Structure formats: C-alpha cells, structure tokens
Amino acid sequence: MDLFFFRKTRPSDDLPYFGMNLIHLVFPILFFSLLCNCQASEKQLDYGRTQSVGQMNPEEPWRFSPEFALDDKTSTAFCANAKEFGSGFTLYLNSYSQFSALRMLNGLHKSATDLKTNDAVKKLRLTSFTMETNDQKAKMKIGSTLDLEIGKPKFGKSGFQVLDLDSKFQGNVIRLEILETHGLGSTGRVCISELQFGEIQKDSFVSFPWVSFDKIKRTIEQFGKAERHYSGFKQLVLANEKSTILFYDQGTILPVFFKADQTFSFSEMYGEGDPLGFLPSIVGTYTILQSSEEGLELNLSYYDAGGIERNISWIFKRAEVGDEDYENFKTKLGTRFSEVFNPKTHFLLVLKEKESGRTFYHYELPRPK
C-alpha cells in the first residue's frame, strides 16, 4: 500500500524518469525495425520489368524477350546477339530479394535442332544492385558481382544446371551479362531458356517463388497483342505490292504505300474536308521504333519541299472487336457500319498521326481464308 501511494502521489518525479528510459529503449528498436523493413530481403521475387541489351529482333518482343527466360517454359527463351559483348538483360524487382544459387537451362530448347543451331552461354556475369528513388531520380548502388562458367547444355529438362554462388546476392535489381559463348550454331543468336533464383538446401536446389508470376504472364500476353499489330503491318506491306492502299477519315482519303525495303509514300490527300488540313505528298523511308500492345510506332523520314529532312511519328494498329479504335470507327460510321465493314471477313487497319491524334482507317483488306 505504501508503494502504491508513493507512485500515485509523486508522478512528477518517477514517471518522467521511467518514460525517458522507455523512450531511450524503444526508439532505437523502432528505428532499427523500420530500417530493416525498408530493405528487408525476401526469399521470393516480385517482377517489375526487364530491360535488354543486344536482344535479337527487339521490334518483335514476342520472340526473344527476357520474360521468356522467366516463364517456366523450356520451349521459349531470351535470345541475344552472340557477337555483341555484354548482351543480356536487367531484371527490376518491386521489392528487395536475396538468393545464393541459380538454376539455368542454357541454350534454346524449342527442339533438338534449335539447340544445335543456336549458341549457348559459356561465361555469365551476375550483378545485384540496390536501386532507390528520391525526388524521381533513381540511384543504383552495386551489391555483389560474380563471373560464372556455364557448361554446354544437354537437350530438354536434363540440361538444367545448378550454379552455387557461394554467397548471398541481395537487392532489387539483377543484371545478367553474357561475356562469352560456346560458339555453337549458325543463327548468330545466344539463348537462355530458363533462369530460376533460389538457394542450396541439403545438396538440392530450392527455387524461390515469383509472387507476381501473373505479371510475367500478362506481359507476355501483351507481346501477343503487339504481334497482332506487326502481323497486320506485314499484311499491309504485302497488299501494297499490288497497289496503293486507301485510308479514310470520314470523307478524306489518304493514299498509302509501304514497301518491304522500308520505303514509303503518302500521296496527296483528297476528298471531303478542309484542304488546308490535307497532308502534302511525301516520299521517304520508315523505321519501326517499337512494337507494343498499343501498336507499331513508325518513324517516317522524308525531305520537305525546301530540302529539309523531317521525321514524324505515326502509329499503326490492327484493331479488333472491343479495341478503342474499333469502337471509335464504329461510332463514326453509325448506322452505315454493318453495311461497310464485316469484322469476320476483313481486317480493320488504323493509321494515327502521333502528334495530332488524327486517325485514318482501312477496312477493305480481306482476311486470309
């Protein structure tokens, strides 16, 4: 009871002392805990994006993008230029991870023939980084780096190789650089079919899971949409071998000609509309800058009437039912839509000037039977 009254009647002397000691004890613990949570490395991986160097056919991402080395399928692969030193890719993660071993399927295993005709990695440099973003500026701090010797691959799942790194790699950025190849094949491609991150437990490799594997699958699905646009453009080029193709913006007509040798021409617009808004006739060369689910971005290079070189960007798409451009086209035609266009028998091709957003449609190209 005496003790009870002492604590009740003298709060000003005892509680501040107790509180200050509590603060001194708790604050470092909280600070250390927050610091650990900010950069805690987990035995799992959260896919963010990839960036490649020397990737083969980068304008066709559905073929050899880095995601195909992460998709848990032995028949797909990341492939790069075998002659370009430092080819490879960087994997950006959404959280900090750690791993101490790799499991790798070296080469292209789509078929036994593909494994023979494509090169495989002999020496691979693995580097981890910590990337922090402050004021929208990214800072990279190097973590660990190691050069790995990779053996010649056997075909199929028996060709998986486990690589013990002898130390932990930690960070949220992983870079893989191909330093040397085995010199196999004739395609000029060096490939990695599968890459898994994990650790060695009781002499066996344990793979760490992707907590965002669905993101990898969605990215690959987006590549499929990009392939649709690319295929549509190839069909346009093929049709242009026979004649000029007309694109329409309501009553305004834009004659278009794209050739396989990467030359193009836009004949002068005609038809309804304000003539001041008509594009002049231009002739030049085109380059596919990138292919994505949003379409093909084309750079058109030409010389104007004054002899000055110009570069303009246009977007090409092959629109399907449900796409925004398809619905816009349907709205513009109104009741005439079903009379003019049948999506079951014809393609809907779209050309859009990137800067102005002005859009032209071609709906007379039949689908192959």
Gyration radius of the chain over CA positions: 29
pLDDT digits (tens, 9 = 90+) for 99-124: 999 999 999 999 999 999 999 999 99
Give the pLDDT confidence score for residue 274 in this predicted structure: 66
Min mean pLDDT across 7-11, 112-116, 342-346 is at 7-11
Give the pLDDT confidence score for residue 35 in this predicted structure: 43
Given CATH 3.40.50.300, say whether it is the number of domain 47-211.
no
- Residue 79 clears pLDDT 80, i.e. is over it: yes
- Residue 262 clears pLDDT 60, i.e. is over it: yes
Query: pLDDT above 70 covers what percent of the chain?
Result: 88
Measure Cα distances from 59 to 50, 55, 348 in Å: 15, 9, 22
Between the two ends of the chain, the Cα-to-Cα distance in Å is 98
3-state secondary structure of 365: strand
Give the pLDDT confidence score for residue 213 in this predicted structure: 95
- Residue 66 clears pLDDT 90, i.e. is over it: yes
Assessment of whether the complete model's pTM goes beyond 0.85: no
Give the pLDDT confidence score for residue 15 in this predicted structure: 41
Q: Directed axis angle between helix 11-38 and helix 2-9, to 10°?
A: 80
Q: Average pLDDT of the chain? A: 88
For residue 172, what is the DSSP state?
E
From 247, 245, 278, select the one nearest 360 (Cα to Cα): 247
Domain segments of the chain as ranges? 47-211, 226-366
- Residue 76 clears pLDDT 80, i.e. is over it: yes
d(CA 22, CA 305): 80
pLDDT digits (tens, 9 = 90+) for 186-200: 999 999 999 999 999
* Burial class of 187 by CB neighbour count within 10 A (0 to 12, 13 to 18, 19+): middle
For residue 55, what is the DSSP state?
B
3-state secondary structure of 279: coil
What is the identity of the amino acid at 327? Answer: E
What DSSP element (H or E) covers 83? none
